Amino acid sequence: MALYRLNLLKSFHKLIPNKHVIPTLIDKITVIEAKLQVQSSESFMTSAHAFPIVRIVERQYSKKSYSNRQDSDSDSDDEVDRRKKGNKHVERGDSMFWRRKMRTLHNILDVNKDGVISFDDLKLLATKFTDLGHLSPEMSQEFLNVMKESWEEQFGEITAYNLVTVEQFLTDYHHRLNDPDLTKKVARFLPYLFKAVDTDHSGFLDLSQYKLFFRCLGLSDDDAVVSFAVIDKNGDGKLSMKEFVKLGREYFLTEDEKKISKMFWGPLVEN
Ligand SMILES: [Ca+2]
Ligand SMILES: [Ca+2]
């Protein structure tokens, strides 16, 4: 364990311009260790888990971001970037990275894994969140209604023959991203997902509840551990509803590969 800490600190040492933050980092490492329940230095250092942590520290403490650590809203970041470029014709949703994120989400929403999203998939998803999570019958009905409204508004009628392919999904979200009125409505269902897995109604998700969220999405506990270590920015082991909704939405809205929201819906599918 000592050797592994030394190695981690050596990596951080190269990355961090301001050495006085190192004690804070040691705290952070301790929290992360506890969360990952690291058994041995070898298994940790060779596991993929170590790398997201090194990357997030790199991001947070790199020279460039150190002077400007205030994490502002990504919508407006992107907006400012576009204005700076002075190019009115730059559209959102053209990057390979963004397309990869949307393909990841299509795969998650295709619950029965037949390659297309149907309303049946969304019903299956709602059932999972109701059964595995803890939604009251009223909340569950409300959740399903929001899903229905979103589906009709986005993909049209609810029939067994209305099947959304990956390409259609990409085209639809590309369109929504470039229409301010539609952008506002992106991912309206996020608060329901949060409430379904906030089993103790504390208003925060801890790692075990985030694991539950991933299980409802058909993702593994290991994936949840890696994602949570990255998106729990201040390392206090808690994620508020506001943070949850912001990250979940940002996933759709940003094309910035450095944003931690890319971890929100689990590992990205291959290019
Ligand atoms: Ca399907
Ligand atoms: Ca937190």
Q: Which of 231, 137, 236, 251 is nearest to 190 (CA)?
A: 251
Cα dihedral 47, 49, 53, 55, rounded to 10, equals 70
How close is the Cα of 131 to the center of ligand 1, in Å? 20
Q: Which of 114, 132, 107 is nearest to 267 (CA)?
A: 107
How close is the Cα of 89 to the center of ligand 2, in Å? 37
How close is the Cα of 22 to the center of ligand 1, in Å? 48
Q: Which residues contact 45 (CB under 8 A, 6 or more apart)?
A: 4, 7
Q: What pLDDT score does 91 carry?
A: 79
- Strand bridging mode 239-240 / 204-205: antiparallel
When the pLDDT of each residue in the chain is averaged and rounded to a whole number, the result is 78
Q: How many CB atoms lie within 10 A of CB 218?
A: 16
How close is the Cα of 56 to the center of ligand 2, in Å? 14
Q: Are 35 and 235 within 8 A, CB to CB?
A: no
How close is the Cα of 156 to the center of ligand 1, in Å? 16
Q: Which of 195, 194, 197, 218 is nearest to 133 (CA)?
A: 197
How far apart, in whole angstroms, are the C-alpha atoms of residue 2 and residue 190?
Answer: 41
How close is the Cα of 150 to the center of ligand 2, in Å? 29
Domain boundaries, given as residue ranges, for the chain: 2-66, 92-263
How close is the Cα of 214 to the center of ligand 2, in Å? 17
Stretch (H or E) spanning 205: strand 204-205
Q: What pLDDT score does 33 carry?
A: 52
Stretch (H or E) spanning 240: strand 239-240
How close is the Cα of 216 to the center of ligand 2, in Å? 21
Q: Are 92 and 78 within 8 A, CB to CB?
A: yes
DSSP for residue 219? -
Q: What pLDDT score does 161 carry?
A: 93
Stretch (H or E) spanning 247: helix 241-253
pLDDT by residue (tens digit) across 91-139?
788 899 999 999 999 999 999 999 999 999 999 999 999 998 888 899 8
User: CA neighbours within 13 Å on the CB side: how many for 131?
Assistant: 9
How close is the Cα of 229 to the center of ligand 2, in Å? 10
Residue 87 one-letter amino acid: N
Under CATH, domain 92-263 is a member of which superfamily? Answer: EF-hand (1.10.238.10)
How close is the Cα of 218 to the center of ligand 1, in Å? 13
Sites in the chain below the pLDDT cut of 70 = 1-90
The reported pTM is: 0.68
pLDDT by residue (tens digit) across 20-30?
545 455 445 54
Q: Are 59 and 262 within 8 A, CB to CB?
A: no
How far apart, in whole angstroms, are the C-alpha atoms of residue 183 and residue 78?
Answer: 13
How close is the Cα of 220 to the center of ligand 1, in Å? 19
How close is the Cα of 165 to the center of ligand 1, in Å? 9
DSSP for residue 259? -
How close is the Cα of 230 to the center of ligand 2, in Å? 10
Q: What pLDDT score does 195 carry?
A: 93
How close is the Cα of 118 to the center of ligand 1, in Å? 5
Q: What pLDDT score does 102 carry?
A: 97
Q: What pLDDT score does 133 carry?
A: 87
Give the distance, in angstroms, between the CA of residue 96 and the centroid of all CA atoms in the same chain: 18
